[in-house]
Structure 1
Amino acid sequence: MVHGKSVKLFLVDGTPNGILTAEIINWTGHVLSAPRTKLPELIQRDECARTGIYFLVGYEPESALPCVYIGESDDVANRLKQHNRAEKSGGKDFWDKVCLVTGKDQNITKTHIKYLESRLIDIAQSNGQCQLINGTAHQYDRLPESDRADMEYFLEQIQVVLPVLGYEFLKEMKIISPKLNTMPVEKTVENQEEAEFYFSVKGINAKAKVVDGEFYVLADSEVRQEMTDLNHTYTKNLRPQLFEKNIIDSTTYKFKQNYLFSSPSAAGAVVAGRCSNGRKDWRQVGTNITYGEWLENQVDQVKISEA
């Protein structure tokens, strides 16, 4: 059974664009988020003197994905001061926001943090949701079995909190079994926990599923080799990045893994090589209704009790 979680947010400056803190009840972690312009205030906070993991995040106009650097330090304040220098002075120019994760107590050690850094870099590399600035991840597993279990739980909470703050790049891909050889069959399908959709264009076939409210294109889905709209955001930026990251095989033109898209239109544009209205182009397997019609049906099926 899946239980809800309470995430406690605090606007330190009283504004949503300033320094934010986030916590989960009964979790020993603490999260800080701030724009780069707030760095002078941020590094004066007690959390920045602790051992922690930090994320530098930047959004470039020509990239469909955020640029991310993942680091760790015993003294995050000084490390962030170093990163704030100009590139030619050993700093990093690309980032606009920073997010810091520390422990509320003294039980999170340097060894724990190195393990978390290694795992987080692995996740960011494998899910393809960002342009990772780090080089090759260092494998760090010098932890007893019990400590690894504790850190995996700590990691799960990081993956819950960061999307709440707008950092989407640590989402792990759901394990979904594709059924690409299944042809659409006309039948009525009631509300499903995992609705499945297909996209066919010019002999190219792709499959997708909605899992936990998010839109995944499934592994082995095909994409068109030709592109007829080179200036669209998703065809110009996102599609080439997915080839570069080997999410889509450049030889077979197939997805090598399940991939989470921000919307069905983004998924449709990558598959078709042109602008796509995902609400119309994706159709539900079994009913052949459009994704937009399926969304409407989900609401229409809900019975609202009268007062």
Structure 2
Amino acid sequence: MAHGKSIKLFLTDGSPNGILTAEIINWTGHVLSAPRTKLSELIQREECARTGVYFLVGHDPENSLPSVYIGESDDVANRLKQHNRTEESGGKDFWEKVCLVTGKDQNITKTHIKYLESRLIEIAKRGGQCQLINGTSHQYNRLPESDTADMEYFLEQIQVVLPVLGYEFLKEMKKLSQKTQTMATTVSSEITEETEFYLATKDTNASAKVIDGEFYVLAGSQVRREVTDTRHTYTKNLRPQLFENNIINSDTYTFNQDYLFSSPSAAGGVILGRASNGRKDWRQVGTNITYGQWLENQVDSVELKEEL
């Protein structure tokens, strides 16, 4: 059974576009988020003098995925000052927002942070939800078993908090059936989960699941080779990025891994190579009703309480 979490958000200057802090009750971590325009104020905060891991995030209008750099430092304030310089001076131009994660106490050490940085880069690469700017990555496993367990828990909380602040690039597929996924008509006779859907045409064959309210296309899903609408944002920007990141195999035109999409329409657009109405194009396995009808049924099945 899933349990709720209490996340405390604080707008330090009363503006949603300013510096935000975030905490989870009974978690030793502390999160700061700010636009680059507020960097001069951010680096004056005491949290920025601690050991921490940070994310630089930018959005290019030509790309569907955000650009992200993941780093760590014993003194994040000085590191962010370096990143704020021009490219010619050794800085980074692409980013517009920064997010910093530190500990509330002194128990988070340089070794812990280097481990977290390594795991965060690994997750961001595997998830394919961003264009990772980091030139190199490394595996860092120099932690005792107990510390590794603590940092994995710490990492899970980061993955809970960041999407609340609008940072979606660390989301992972966590709950998949272990059976081999079968596509097209054969899949409907073998898989009966209510949250599984398919999209099948003469040259596409894809399966997807709705998990925790999010839409995942499953590994092995077939993508149409021809693109007939190059103006659409998902075919113009997102589809090429998924090929570039090897989420979709450029030889077989199939998904190498499960992939989280922002919507069924985004998934349909990438798979079909044209604009897609995901509510109509995706159908539920077993019932053959559309995704839109399935959503409607979920609401219609709820019995509302009558007011006394």
Q: Helix, strand or coil for the counterpart of 1:184?
A: helix
Amino acid of the structure 1 residue aligned with 2:34: A
* Residue number in structure 1 paired with 2:182: 179
| Distance across 1 between alignment mates of 2:131 and 2:262 | 16
TM-score normalised per structure 2: 0.96
Alpha-carbon shift at residue 183 of structure 1 (Å): 4.2
Aligned partner letter, 2:182: K
Which residue number in structure 2 is paired with residue 220 of structure 1? 220
Q: How many correspondences in the alignment?
A: 301
Structure 2 CA distance, aligned partners of 1:7 and 1:110? Answer: 26
Letter in 2 for 1:184: S
Q: In the alignment, what sits opposite 1:51?
A: 51
3-state secondary structure, aligned to 1:198:
strand
Partner of 1:67: 67
Looking at structure 2, the residues matched to 137 and 3 of structure 1 have their Cα atoms a distance apart, in angstroms, of 34
What corresponds to 1:275 in structure 2?
275
- Give unpaired runs (5+ residues) of structure 2: none
Distance 1:9 1:150 in 2: 24
SS at match of 1:303: coil
Give the alignment of 1:172-211 within 5 angstroms: 172-177=172-177, 178-180=181-183, 182-184=186-188, 195-211=195-211
CA–CA separation in structure 2 for the residues paired with 1:158 and 1:232: 33
- 2:202 and 2:183 map into 1 onto residues whose CA distance is 16
Q: Which residue of 2 aligns with 1:92?
A: 92
CA distance in 2, matches of 1:62, 1:173: 26
Match of 1:260 in 2: 260
Per-residue deviation, 1:143? 0.4
For residue 101 of structure 1, give the secondary structure of its aligned residue in structure 2.
strand
1:123 alignment partner in structure 2? 123
Describe the SS at the equivalent of 1:112.
helix
- For residues 279 and 110 of structure 1, what CA distance do their matches in structure 2 show? 48
Superposition map of 1:134-145 within 5 A: 134-145=134-145
For residues 73 and 151 of structure 2, the distance between their equivalents in structure 1, rounded to whole angstroms, comes to 17
Q: CA deviation at 1:179?
A: 3.1
Structure 1 residue runs of 5 or longer lacking an equivalent are: none
Structure 1 residue 175 displacement after superposition? 4.2
CA distance in 2 between counterparts of 1:50 and 1:85 reads 21
- Residues 23-47 of structure 1, C-alpha deviation per residue, up to 9 Å, x if partnerless? 0000000000000000010000000
**3-state DSSP class of the match of 2:188?**
coil
CA contact 1:176–1:258 (8 Å) conserved in 2:
no
Letter in 2 for 1:15: S
**Aligned-pair identity (%):** 79
TM-aligned CA deviation for residue 180 of structure 1: 2.2
TM normalised by structure 1 equals: 0.96
Distance 2:150 2:36 in 1: 31
1:286 matched to which residue of 2?
286
> Equivalents in 2 of 1:203, 1:243: separation in Å?
18
Give, in whole Å, the separation in 2 of the partners of 1:227 and 1:88: 39
**SS at 1:270's partner residue?**
helix
Separation (CA, whole Å) in 2 of partners of 1:244 and 1:101:
30
Aligned counterpart, 1:232: 232
How far apart are residue 202 of structure 1 and its match? 2.7
**For 1:258 and 1:165, how far apart are their aligned partners in 2?**
24
User: What is the Cα deviation at residue 174 of structure 1?
Assistant: 2.7
Q: Please say if residues 65 and 130 of structure 1, whose CA atoms lie closer than 8 Å, have aligned partners that are also in contact.
A: yes
Q: Which AA in structure 1 matches 2:208?
A: A
3-state SS of 1:279 partner: helix
What amino acid sits opposite 1:304 in the alignment? L
Shift, 1:184, TM fit = 3.4
Which residue is equivalent to 1:82?
A: 82
Whole-angstrom CA distance in 2 between matches of 1:3 and 1:106:
29
Cα distance in 2, alignment partners of residues 143 and 174 from structure 1: 24
Conservation of the 8 A alpha-carbon contact between 1:22 and 1:30? yes
Inter-partner Cα distance in structure 1 for 2:55 and 2:212: 26
The amino acid across from 1:96 in the alignment is E
Q: Is the 8 A contact 2:175 2:211 kept in 1?
A: no
Q: Is the 8 A contact 2:59 2:96 kept in 1?
A: yes
AA of the residue aligned to 2:113: I
CA drift of 1:60 comes to: 0.3
Contact 1:33/1:99, CA 8 A, preserved across alignment? yes
